[in-house]
Structure 1
């Protein structure tokens, strides 16, 4: 806290603080940022005493995507988001690295990024392997990507072991700057609700999102959810005993076995929807 105060002291008092995090730790840290206007979330999106740390709120718009809620923070400043466009500054060296990982032989690429930050959002390695086998039978190349955590390594190993088809395993081999370039080389990315989902979307790559613990209309790939598997309502009924439309917007259903509601047939159907829309 003292270090934060010291680092901000030379900057004086800010005109506005956009408090886009509602976790208690972030709320407390925001109190040490001197600002005249402290703009936070509407009441429906607030938690962890968020309202005590802000003096203005964005408009309450139920049922909107997380990205649109974040965009709403510009409105109190006199700006309005009218279009969403991504221009990620991916270095040429990152694109060169991605191009070097496999030769382009004309086969479409199914890239699997199997892990999110919460293990209960992750689908099962044997089911991902079954989807990979189906895609390979249709002439697709299968590529795995992910970070360097023990969970990501063990998940990748399990997928490779269960798959009957060869899999290019790039888990733990890329950097954060190389990841967008890698995702851009895919035709379709399979992933749970995760950071790579949104990076792939920003790079213009279609996403087969795996949703049961979270609502794809709130946190799925922003540009296109046509190829997502959506079992959020089924999860709400099974674990919370009510339909999804009766839940507070943003409710996460992170229970053990929630991702078991997504079957291999569900994922294959989503994959085939993509193939039907993108004939080769």
Structure 2
């Protein structure tokens, strides 16, 4: 089947924010490249604001408030929201039982789920089609396969946040305009995925010596604010710490002004990649082949392979294998991060 056989598509991807950023690349590409196709995206309301520009959703969406309402009420609410709507295709890009139960609220002729290797939590009971297994293990490749298997054969991810002049102006007010900017996004949602404060400080000082100003970003959680404060205290006047002071949209605007971003496996890493800002992704717990920065894989620094091998021996790590050593990120060598930073400076003429 081709896209011409379909006039409407519903995409279901609720969480996490990094995955929603990647899913947006597909949703937006369909929306822009196939304007004749009606599209709707079901997303967790906690993340929907990133994809709303000047009060209007960039891609038509239905935010669901699962955390606030609970799953049952969310299913009933979504059913009411979509009452009378019929879709040719549902792309269920999330394998959780939560997503599968929500998918029952969507009336669609074809309901696509993951291939047998990636499908889990009983998703196969809620779909009637499977996507073609992608050759590339990356999550983004899976999302692309959803669209291509459903008939959008030449689709490529396309990100456009429609950042407004006001958002860009506000971002520029927060950061110096006379220096190259290194954005440090040091924290992910889980402590074990974060590099050390000492490592971030050392690479920050290295960047300062090369004429960069460091901008530190992060959320409002205590884990993030504490880590960011420790780094900022060391870098002092050579950095601007705006951790906890930005909305998702303002964070995107700030990152859009960066020359380089350094981040562990986090939403900020995926946001930088989607904005086409060179990002050094740092990995030890999750396989970067699966979750790395889609547009900048060549700049990542990873010890995942050696950490996984230490735990598994001769056994091959599965697609979802997660390193259990909570100290694994400490194995990242700052010298290697400096080398990749220098390579970006050379590639992008940032000397």
Both proteins in one fold, TM over 0.5:
yes
**In the TM superposition, what are the counterparts of 1:148-159 in structure 2 within 5 Å?**
148-159=220-231
Q: Write out per-residue CA displacement over residues 127-151 of structure 1, whole angstroms, 9 at most, x where no aligned residue.
A: 1111111111222111101111111
Give the aligned length: 277
Q: Is 2:142 the counterpart of 1:69?
A: yes
SS at match of 2:248: coil
Structure 1 residues 254 and 108 mapped into 2: Cα distance closer, same or farther (>3 Å)? Answer: farther
Moved more, 188-197 or 223-232: 223-232
Q: Is 2:234 the counterpart of 1:234?
A: no
Quote the Cα distance in structure 1 between the aligned partners of 2:274 and 2:330: 28
User: What is aligned with 1:257?
Assistant: 327
Given candidates 189, 192, 202, the residue that maps to 1:120 is 192
- Given that 1:110 and 1:186 are in contact with CA atoms closer than 8 Å, whether structure 2 keeps it comes out as yes
- TM-superposed CA distance for 1:12, in Å, is 4.4
C-alpha RMSD over aligned residues: 2.0
User: What is aligned with 2:243?
Assistant: 171
Quote the Cα distance in structure 2 between the aligned partners of 1:34 and 1:135: 53
Structure 1 residues 269 and 242 mapped into 2: Cα distance closer, same or farther (>3 Å)? Answer: farther
Given candidates 153, 162, 178, the residue that maps to 1:80 is 153
- TM-superposed CA distance for 1:253, in Å, is 2.2
The TM-score with structure 2 as length reference comes to 0.73
SS at match of 1:199: helix
SS at match of 1:174: coil
Q: Is 2:342 the counterpart of 1:272?
A: yes
Could you tell me which runs of 5 or more consecutive residues in structure 2 were left unpaired when the two chains were aligned.
1-71
Given candidates 14, 28, 31, the residue that maps to 2:101 is 28
Quote the Cα distance in structure 1 between the aligned partners of 2:159 and 2:89: 25
SS at match of 1:210: strand
The TM-score with structure 1 as length reference comes to 0.90
SS at match of 1:43: coil
Given candidates 309, 317, 320, the residue that maps to 1:247 is 317
Q: Write out per-residue CA displacement over residues 240-275 of structure 1, whole angstroms, 9 at most, x where no aligned residue.
A: 3347xx222243325311211212222112212222
User: What is aligned with 2:118?
Assistant: 45
- Given that 1:208 and 1:229 are in contact with CA atoms closer than 8 Å, whether structure 2 keeps it comes out as yes
User: What is aligned with 1:11?
Assistant: 84
**In the TM superposition, what are the counterparts of 1:149-228 in structure 2 within 5 Å?**
149-163=221-235, 166-228=238-300
Quote the Cα distance in structure 1 between the aligned partners of 2:287 and 2:128: 30
Could you tell me which runs of 5 or more consecutive residues in structure 1 were left unpaired when the two chains were aligned.
none
